[in-house]
Chains A and B, each alone.
Chain A
Amino acid sequence: MAINVKVLARPVEDVSYVRATLKGMALTFRHLVDPHKVTVQYPEQRDELSPRWRGTHRMLTTEDGKAKCVACGLCPTVCPANCIKLVPGEDEQGNRYPLVFEIDEFRCIFCGYCQEVCPEEAIHVGRHYENSEYSREGFVYDLERLVSQTHAVCEMWDPTDPRGE
């Protein structure tokens, strides 16, 4: 039993593919000649990050290469995600320094409070987004890892517009 399909009579100029194809190809050719580009040729090309970008952490060091951290305990206190582990100790000169300093970057919410609270300007969130690792454990950054990283760090505010206006 045949299904009664009702075929509407439409004008040819309305249903023809020619018009639609031409319309589409016009757009394609316009993009071909127009220099307006959105695609970034990563990794050869990289976007500029905002000076306030908050990425994975970095620990700054003194001139002699030691971490600036004095293990005051403010960053684990202020951290809302509870991702910083700190055990204070003493070095050979009797200075207070962190025996253990670990940041779990998976747990981190990149709020930047740790950088803001740090009285020694030691811990910083970084202007950095390339964070692949081979294991989950690799995302727990220890002090050595935090010190050895070299990427730029967050400015916390835009130096050209410090009030955020």
Chain B
Amino acid sequence: MTDRKMITLTIEGRQVQVPEGTSMLEAARSAGVLIPHYCYHPGLPVAGVCRMCLVEVEKAPKLAPACATAVADGQVIHVHSDKAREARTGVLEMLLINHPLDCPICDQSGECELQDYTYAEGRKSSRYREAKRFNPVEDFGGDVLYVPNRCILCTRCVRFMDDVAHDPVLNVSERGDRAVIGKFEDQDLTHPWAGNVVDLCPVGALLSKDFLNKARSWDLDRAASICPNCSQGCNATLETRDNVVVRIRPRPNDEVNRYFLCDEGRLDYRWLNRRDRIEYPHVRRDHALAPVEWEIAVDAAAVALRGRQAFVLASPGLSNETLFLLARIRDRTGGRGAFRVRQGAEAPLPGVPDLALRADRAANGRGAELLGFSRSETPLEGLRNGDVLIVADEELAGIDPASVATAVARAASIIVVGTTLPAWASGAAVVLPVANMAEEDGTFTNLRGRVQRYLQAKQAPGLVRPAWSALGDLLTALGESALYFLPSDVFAALAAAVPAFAGLDYDRLGLVGVPVAGDGAATAAAGALVGAAP
């Protein structure tokens, strides 16, 4: 990149320097100028079919498509000149000829580029008096619904399936004003990454069946997060409505997932909204669990741990901060820790290097390894007679509960630190209810060792506290100095204590993350700008 010649040009009166070969549209973006566009997407090959990005170039005879034209030295580009504006208004009028006025029932409404640009520079009223084209809604398979009436034929979806997913299922069928997006016969959008066409679609033509009619985009609260469903650690945005996660969408990060998120990741969010949560701390009194104050429960846990070794059964979905504090409890008592990762089929996205839905269906297995937890298919084997079993948000789903219960019977007592109380751990002495990943701030370490932050998206129920906060109190009760007020405090202690995390802090991680020491020579520039949404 550095050996490329730099070119200086002027866009909307602003001088910018960009490497040779950059498109006008990208150059304008680096100058902070948005050139309206539909077919261009930074994650897809350039098509130049929508004609929306036409800009006026001084001394050029015609308007130039900004997405497909490389910049030249000394160029002067006008994006908002009368000529360019008139061209865009014309394009919008043509697009609106067959676009129905059904924004009130369209799921894209509020985040629709056609809506936005029409409000900004479209005609005030239509001159078209004829009947609009009509095609029925089509089920594209997978999670995708196609509404041909709304389609503006930008072909982003076709290019995604052809060039990124390498699964050419979609095409442009028919010609002229009859053209629609079609499927090849007997093929469906069943590719594990096909759901991305819904995000790529600039209008409401491709819709997610899962999200259909669920919420309006302006009702949603958004939080920068990490997809918690596999070890790839795709950057994502959790979107909530009334404290319920309703959608996960990709957040651009060139180092991890570029602009994409797999279907399994984007549809597997319901566990974040579970209703069978434990909401209050409990301790065992008279052979039954009784709800108590936090202080009482934490003291009871400290008493249970006194003089015994802890065996920590950790979930690989816990944050680095929580795992670090669990590791400190483990080491303080001279105990051991293990975790188990649920496995699934690996599903790569061929068009992006090193991007796949990973076999490890948990976000932080790597972090657990770095913090000294041992990975095992049967994690309870390490539990010895007389140990105190600390179950940290692990349900051991898929393993026969009865056999787990017999293994657990070896423990002197059980402390549950979790979102739910699994049946096999119902004999617990102490239950500390903690927040799930959507309810707390924290970090995950992905399988390539990249530490990435996620932010709180919703409120936790009842008296639930983030696990780092509860475990900090427990450590204090055990006699260690562990006074933490913020997750960043815990992370600072983690960075000071664990060599792999040395030198990292929340400010350096930013929202794109940094690889841990000794992992991957390519260290991303800290705090680098997240690629702006296309």
Contact surface of A with B, Cβ cutoff 8 Å = 70-74, 77, 88-90, 94-96, 119-120
Contact = CB atoms under 8 A, between A and B. Distances in A.
Contacts, number: 30
Nearest to A90: B213
Given A119-B104, A120-B104, A73 B213 contact: no
B109 interface: yes
Contact of A88 (B103, B137, B214, B218): B214
A119 B213 contact: no
Q: Is the interface of A mostly helix, strand, loop or mixed?
A: loop
Contacts of B486: none
Q: Which 3 A-B pairs have the closest CB atoms?
A: A72-B104, A73-B216, A96-B105
Interface string B454-488: 00000000000000000000000000000000000
Given A70-B104, A72-B104, 18 more contacts: A70-B105, A71-B213, A72-B103, A72-B105, A72-B109, A72-B216, A73-B216, A73-B218, A73-B219, A77-B219, A88-B213, A88-B214, A88-B215, A88-B216, A90-B212, A94-B137, A95-B105, A120-B104
Interface in B193-218: 212-216, 218
27 contacts: A70-B104, A70-B105, A71-B105, A71-B213, A72-B104, A72-B105, A72-B109, A72-B216, A73-B216, A74-B104, A77-B216, A77-B218, A77-B219, A88-B213, A88-B214, A88-B215, A88-B216, A89-B213, A90-B212, A90-B213, A94-B137, A95-B105, A96-B105, A96-B213, A119-B103, A119-B104, A120-B104
A90 B137 CA distance: 15
A90 B107 CA distance: 12
Interface of B: 103-105, 109, 137, 212-216, 218-219
Nearest to B102: A70
B135 to A, nearest CB: 15
A78 to B, nearest CB: 11
B220 to A, nearest CB: 11
A164 B309 CA distance: 82
Contacts of A120: 104
Nearest to B107: A96
Nearest to A99: B213
Contacts of B212: 90
B448 to A, nearest CB: 41
Nearest to B242: A87
Contacts of A72: 103-105, 109, 216
A74 B213 CA distance: 14
Contacts of B214: 88
A93 to B, nearest CB: 11
A73 B214 CA distance: 11
Contacts of A119: 103-104
Contacts of A94: 137
Contacts of A89: 213
- In this complex, the member of B103, B105, B215 whose beta carbon has the largest number of chain A beta carbons within 10 angstroms is B105
Nearest to A95: B105
- In this complex, the member of A73, A74, A94, A120 whose beta carbon has the largest number of chain B beta carbons within 10 angstroms is A73
Contacts of A70: 104-105
A82 B104 CA distance: 19
A56 to B, nearest CB: 24
- In this complex, the member of B213, B215, B218 whose beta carbon has the largest number of chain A beta carbons within 10 angstroms is B213
Nearest to A89: B213
Contacts of A71: 105, 213
Contacts of B219: 73, 77
A142 to B, nearest CB: 19
A77 B218 CA distance: 9
Nearest to B217: A73
A94 B138 CA distance: 12
Nearest to A76: B219
